[in-house]
Structure 1
Amino acid sequence: MAGVLDSVNQRTQLVGKNRLELLTFRLNGPQIYGINVFKVREILQTPKLTEIPESHPVIRGTAYIRGRTIPVIDLALAMGSSVPTDIEGSFIVISEYNMTVQGFLVRAVERIINMNWEDILPPPSGLGNRHYLTSITRFENRLIEILDVEKILSEVAPRNDDVSEEIVTKVKDQRPEHFRVLIVDDSSVARKQIKRAVEAVGAETVLLNDGAEAYRHLLELNEQGINVAEHYYVLISDVEMPEMDGYTLTAKIRSNSDLKDLYVMLHTSLSGVFNQSMVDKVGADDFLAKFQPDVLAERVLFHKR
């Protein structure tokens, strides 16, 4: 376990070219799950938890860690299990998503694995809308399910993601004539949040699930003789996505003479350990940490080309 903890501490600053590192863990059964190491602050054996009266049933309590109180979410319960995780001998994965810090209670931590995003695939289409996966992969002949943490958090601790009436009124008569926005994100929750925010200020939206799909889409438009920089006012892309991440998507756009003028905003929940130099390196025009609907709406509308 000490080796895993050391690896998390050493690698949370890692940004690779279309690569990721997954922290893998188990809940109450044999299935292996994963989240990006880049979102992990540390892993601890579960300390004493303080119960919160009238809290959401999947919140097992709070833990006081390094000078702050952190809510602890039982991932097994959050994903629909009727059996809570046994706190004895379990672990808390301290993570940062969308500028919030929380602990995820897991039964056992497995290891960290290094993968190519090309090996990370969308979940099977037949799963319906109730699953909590953004993607799946295989490692050493074992299936790993990568969790849609944004969806879990949106159900456990819902936030008001609407653009304020003040912003809507402020920008009412300032939208451009051709205000079409391409949204690329593997989380269905994130896609809907972004769509709602930019449509609130008058944008038309197109939604795609990952960088590879987005790049193919842009190439197809170009082959039809469409200038993508004029067709889309801005492309808003997540960083973590199966098959092709947002960094690689941006780099490929910038290296293609027919696409390079498209305005690209990287929009990611990797707020706590974000590497600005990587954004500059791949040539993104802007970066915004999720999820700030008012800021997003204004930045999209008034971006400077």
Structure 2
Amino acid sequence: MSTILSSVDQRTKLVGENRLELIMFKLGSRHTFALNVFKVREVITVPQLNQMPGSHSNLCGVTNYRGKSIPVIDLRQAIRLNNTEDYEPNNVIITEYNRSVQGFLIGQIMNIVNTSWTDIQPPPTTVGKNHYLTAITKVKIDKQEALVEIIDVEKVLSEIVHYDTSISEEVLDKEVQAALQGKKVLVVDDSSTARAQVRDTLVQLGVEVIEEKNGLNALKRLKAWADEGKDIEDEIVMMFTDAEMPEMDGYRLTAEVRDDPRMAHLFIALNTSLSGSFNEAMVKKVGCDRLISKFQPDLLVEVLQERMREVMSSSGK
């Protein structure tokens, strides 16, 4: 099954092109779900699982994967689908998120589709605040158009692993922190969980966090400021953006910002759950200033403080 996944080198060619590949699968319901292939290492048949007494109810066990023990999460249970007696999961998707490797127990693998982020839309607001979707799209399955629901894995993981937003005392620079009071930072991410993690970290520094759910909305906001004659770097100290978002991803957002002379010098940090040695090359390709692997509160603060020092230095403070 792992042979259906293209190589990392092939997938990196999609970077900056506002495109992605989705691996589609079933969870024992009429719905079709998907994950971004970029975060998938491999698909395997269900391996031997060792139970962990006292573990989270969504964890169905641990397994040995390439010499390391990794947790396997029951994805159907994690997103709270109703139980189906005839559902029998037969695959595990091995993924890498937030610098950790984990498996997701799933049912039938459908196929992989190459699509554009412009065709990926935010989930409807009617699904409520507790939904587990980060986006939806439509694809052709057996010559018929079908709705595909893209799962918010960061929300799933946040309910199993507690994310601490506290900042180490030794990281804080009191002088810079004083200068940051009242400053604004733009945070762009389609996951409400990821936005909350960044917001809850940065507000401790006294900054105001402006949030956008995708790159297109963020670009519209930036261009609106510029059209009003505002200096973008006076409006915000910097922008933290996710890589993968509906309508416009973080790579294309960065490229669009760099292509507009009114905002070309905006400091941009890519804050992504993607891991791997290829990330630095991806960042250079589209012109981001920094790469931050989620979720690292101290590193978020260090990057913001470093940027503020540059601002203070250039203004002679």
- Find the residue that maps to 2:175 and give its secondary structure: coil
Paired residue total: 302
Structure-2 change in CA distance of 1:117 and 1:106 (3 Å): same
Query: Are 2:78 and 1:78 aligned?
Result: yes
Structure 1 residue 280 displacement after superposition: 1.0
In structure 2, the residue corresponding to 1:83 is in which secondary structure?
Answer: coil
Deviations 1:22-61 (A, max 9, x none): 1111111121111111100111001111011011111110
Match of 2:102 in 1: 102
Shift in Å at residue 7 of structure 1?
Answer: 3.0
Query: What is the TM-score normalised by the length of structure 1?
Result: 0.93
Go from structure 1 to structure 2 and tell me whether the alpha carbon gap of 1:160 and 1:72 turns closer, same or farther (over 3 Å shift). Answer: same
Q: Name 1:203's counterpart in structure 2.
A: 207
For 1:125-148, what per-residue CA distance to the aligned partner results, in whole angstroms no more than 9, with x for missing partners? 111111101100000110000010
Question: What does 1:16-165 correspond to in 2, within 5 Å?
Answer: 16=15, 17-83=17-83, 90-140=90-140, 141-165=145-169
Residue 249, structure 1, aligned to residue 262, structure 2: no
Q: Measure how far apart 1:81 and its partner are.
A: 2.8
Tell me the distance in 2 between the aligned counterparts of 1:32 and 1:161. 34
Q: 1:64 is matched by which residue type in structure 2?
A: N
The one of 225, 231, 251 aligned to 1:227: 231
CA distance in 2, matches of 1:84, 1:63: 25
Percent identity of paired positions between Structure 1 and Structure 2:
40
TM value normalised by structure 2: 0.90
Residues 106, 88 of structure 1: CA spacing in aligned structure 2 closer, same or farther, 3 A cutoff?
same
Q: Which amino acid aligns with 1:15?
A: L
Is residue 2:220 matched to residue 1:216?
yes
Q: Which residue of 2 aligns with 1:174?
A: 176
Q: CA RMSD in A?
A: 2.0
Structure 1 residues without counterparts, runs of 5 or longer: none
Deviating more after overlay: 280-289 vs 247-256: 280-289
Contact kept, 8 Å, 2:119 with 2:137, in 1: the verdict is yes
Paired residues of 1:133 and 1:147 also in contact (CA < 8 A): yes
> Within 1, Cα distance between the matches of 2:58 and 2:87?
13
Distance in 2 between the 1:94 and 1:53 partners?
22
Q: Does the CA-based 8 Å contact 1:42-1:93 persist in structure 2?
A: yes
Deviations 1:159-208, CA, capped at 9 Å, x for gaps: 323223443xx323323356210000000000010011111122111001
CA distance in 2, matches of 1:148, 1:2: 23
**Residue of structure 1 equivalent to 2:314:** none
Deviation of 1:100 (Å): 1.0
Aligned mate of 1:272, from 272, 276, 283: 276
